[in-house]
Structure 1
Amino acid sequence: MILEFSISNYRSICEKQSFAMIASGAKSRPNNIFDVDLNNGSNVKLTKTAGIFGANASGKSNVIRALFEIRMLIVDSRILKIDRPIPAYDPFLFNTKSNNEPVEFEIIFLSKDKKKYQYKLAFNQHEIVEESLHHFPSIKSQIIFNRGKEKDLHDENIHIGKLGKNFNYKKYKVYKKIPLLSIFGQAENYHTDISPVFTFFDEIEIWNVTESGVVRRLAEYVKEFLQESDNKVLVPQIEELIRQADTQIQALLIDDTKRGEREVNTVLGEPISTVRRREILYGEHNVYERNNIVAKHNLPFFNESFGTNKLFALGGLIVKTINQGGVIFFDELDSSFHPLVTKLLVNFFQESNLSNAQLIFTTHETYLLNKEFRSDQIWFTQKKENGQTELFSAQDFDGVREDIPFEKWYLGGKFGAIPYITKGGHEEKED
């Protein structure tokens, strides 16, 4: 569960921008928040969902992309090349100072066993320049590890990370481009207090669902997940979600026998072996004679519309997460969806959430602002004149009550974060 995170000097984000899932004391829409009792005896209220709104090119996607890149750097460090820059390094370029400064990231979160952690990471294109991990056995934080400028005496490419006082100041050697946290994802380096942090990052789901190829990969991921016997109990929930969206699909059928067929083709006379996937998911449709149902037809899911396939992909991941816990990030959740379908997904997540899961997404769908969200769930991005992205909450404005018409206020420009269209050199905006 995410409490808050901040990003500095990444793409359009220059100065530190912070985002939080901590709920305010507002009494409205209690189904949109949940309470968590931490292991250290404290309590926190968190929002289940949050939407980031803003004009095109305002930096919404960069907030989610930053988390994606940091996650990849931590959990998939094997892709790093010795002679290549750190791929996540992508600083703000429109400032003479920031274009050579480190990217900085900080996150405060709860692990599955409800321990509170704070993780910081800063890096340039050549090396990690700062990394630290704290936990909160009480209200006050304690250091778990720290990694700074100390290097191996015989090889400056090797950095020294050191555990805190309660862990006997044990030292670890790590290559300069690899986060120290990464090595604790390996079985031989399992650590009771550190490995769950690696697992937290590993299990975050981050998907840019504007791209058809990404949606297909997510759909395949969900299909494979549902083939596992323990997960078949989730199929009725996905069916119900798809029925509510008026797709005319009556049921979902999964054929466990169709996991792939091997075929042999030739390229330039040389035989090559490939695996062709066969459809394992079918949608059951009614067959009518006049107005009477006379039969059922099972349609392979690849023959369903792209919107239906996307609904299955996102809905399937949502059902998995609300039952098993976790955090989902969707970039452009509303892409290819009717506004009412987008609303359905968000409400389904909030109303059916059994495990304190969280959903964070970017969107242009202002319909969601119409009585769906509390002010602490509404975030905006906008570009300043110098090209920098600002990230802020509806709560940051004076006079904001929970009963105001958020959609009308937003489209009327009271929160900013809307495009100002120019005609003939004159700026125009919605009244």
Structure 2
Amino acid sequence: MILEFSISNFRSIRKKQLFTMIASSARSKSTNIFNVNLANGSSIKLIKSVGIYGANASGKSNIIHALFELRKLIIDTKEISIDKPIPAYDPYLFNINSSNKPVEFEVIFLTKEKHKYQYRIVFNQNEIIEESLHHFPFKKPQEIFKRGKEKSEKDENIHIIKLGKNFNYKKYEIYKKIPLLSIFGKAENYHTTISPVYTYFNELEIWNVTESSWVRRLSDYIKEELQNPENKLLVKQIEKLIYEADTQIQSLIIDPNKKINETETILIDDKKSINRVRRNEVLFGEHNVYENQNIVTTHALPFIHESFGTNKLFALGGLIVKVLNKGGVIFFDELDSSLHPLLSSLLIRFFQINHQSNAQLIFTTHETYLLNKEFRSDQIWFTQKNTFGETELFSAQDFDGVREDIPFEKWYLGGKFGAIPYVNNLNSIVKNGKKEIG
């Protein structure tokens, strides 16, 4: 579970911006929040789901991308090179005072065991400047480690980090560009207090679902899950969701022995050339076959022949069901892309109605249809850029006079929350077939 996430000097975000999933004191729509009893005896109320709105290029995707890069920095250390900058280093470039300054991330969260932690990391392109991890076994934080300026006398590229008092002051030597947290994902370094933090970041589900390649990867991931004999319930749950979405798919068939080879053309990462690949399909959607308006048989259609929207519904819906079953946090960038507004709404309502296992859903979207009266003000967040092009992040509850029964969609489109594009006069752009300058 995520409690808070703050970002400084990353992409379009210059000054510190704070995002929180801690519920406000509002009493309305209490089914949209849930209570968690922490391992230290305290309790906290959290929000089930949050939507982040904003104009194009306002920076809403950068909120999710920041967490994606933080996770990648911790989990994928193989991408860190001696001769190259830290991959996650992407500072705000439009201010001379920040373009060479460090990036800073901080997350406060709960592990599945309901232990509270605070992780902070500060880095430039050459090294990690600060890194700290605090645990809350009681109400006050307990320092597990704090990375500072201590370096090896033999090699200045090696940082020396010492664990806290309650961890016997054990020392670790680590390369200057690698987070200390990353080493606790290895079996030989397992630590009962620290390794669950690594697991937390590893299990975050962060997906940019506006790109077909990401949707394909997510779809393949869900198909692999469905092939597990222990996931028969998951198959039935996703099957029910797909059917209720009016896709005309009566049931799902998982048949690894019925693989077909499908040749398709995809754009590879450099986006300059194409690559022909073969994909195997193990998922089929069963459709009714009619004669004289009567069902006479069924036909199993390979799922890759279903529409992109149906495949996206399967991918997103499948992940939502999986996380609802096991717990976790999902981040979807551009949830509504290639989905009908009613289907986007269906996924969110499905998540909130069937909420269990302390799951959470955070998504970015342009779809104002989702700003309905089923949402609380603390579930609605906005991004907008100020005069200097810096992203600012805020929620609907930050505005005075906002009641929980207001028409959020009408207020948002009317500009009362900001975070919308302000279109200038279009009349003078083209005149008599010629572009006017100035």
Match of 1:26 in 2: 26
1:188-241: CA deviation from partner (whole Å, max 9, x where unpaired): 110000000000000001100111111011100000011111112111111111
In structure 1, C-alpha distance between the alignment counterparts of 2:427 and 2:18, rounded to whole Å: 34
1:164-204: CA deviation from partner (whole Å, max 9, x where unpaired): 11111111011000000001111111000000000000000
In structure 1, C-alpha distance between the alignment counterparts of 2:300 and 2:27, rounded to whole Å: 47
Q: Please show how residues 368-407 of structure 1 align to structure 2 within 5 Å.
A: 368-407=370-409
In structure 2, C-alpha distance between the alignment counterparts of 1:34 and 1:339, rounded to whole Å: 26
1:106-163: CA deviation from partner (whole Å, max 9, x where unpaired): 0000001000000000100000000000011111111011111111111000001111
The secondary structure found in structure 1 opposite 2:148 is strand
In structure 1, C-alpha distance between the alignment counterparts of 2:202 and 2:280, rounded to whole Å: 29
Q: Is residue 7 of structure 1 aligned with residue 7 of structure 2?
A: yes
Check whether the contact 2:384–2:392 (CA below 8 A) recurs between aligned residues.
yes
In structure 1, C-alpha distance between the alignment counterparts of 2:7 and 2:427, rounded to whole Å: 35
Check whether the contact 2:260–2:282 (CA below 8 A) recurs between aligned residues.
no
AA of the residue aligned to 1:297: H
Deviation at 1:30, TM superposition (A): 2.1
1:229-282: CA deviation from partner (whole Å, max 9, x where unpaired): 111211111111111211000100000325798x9xxxxxxxxxx994421000
The secondary structure found in structure 2 opposite 1:372 is coil
The secondary structure found in structure 2 opposite 1:295 is strand
TM-score by length of 1: 0.94
How many correspondences in the alignment? Answer: 415
1:65-124: CA deviation from partner (whole Å, max 9, x where unpaired): 111111000011112111110010000000111001000000000001000000000100
Match of 1:320 in 2: 322
Instruction: Tell me the percent identity.
Output: 72
- Give unmatched runs, 5+ long, in structure 1: 264-273, 427-431
Deviation at 1:372, TM superposition (A): 2.3
- Give unmatched runs, 5+ long, in structure 2: 264-275, 429-438
1:313-351: CA deviation from partner (whole Å, max 9, x where unpaired): 111111100000001100000000111000000010111
Check whether the contact 1:122–1:128 (CA below 8 A) recurs between aligned residues.
yes
The secondary structure found in structure 1 opposite 2:137 is coil
Check whether the contact 2:49–2:362 (CA below 8 A) recurs between aligned residues.
yes
Q: Is residue 129 of structure 1 aligned with residue 129 of structure 2?
A: yes
In structure 2, C-alpha distance between the alignment counterparts of 1:27 and 1:297, rounded to whole Å: 50
Match of 2:60 in 1: 60
AA of the residue aligned to 2:32: N
Q: Is residue 230 of structure 1 aligned with residue 222 of structure 2?
A: no
In structure 2, C-alpha distance between the alignment counterparts of 1:351 and 1:199, rounded to whole Å: 27
Match of 1:271 in 2: none
Q: Please show how residues 205-244 of structure 1 align to structure 2 within 5 Å.
A: 205-244=205-244
In structure 2, C-alpha distance between the alignment counterparts of 1:420 and 1:412, rounded to whole Å: 11
The secondary structure found in structure 2 opposite 1:72 is helix
In structure 1, C-alpha distance between the alignment counterparts of 2:252 and 2:403, rounded to whole Å: 43
| Aligned-residue RMSD, C-alpha | 1.5
Q: Is residue 329 of structure 1 aligned with residue 309 of structure 2?
A: no
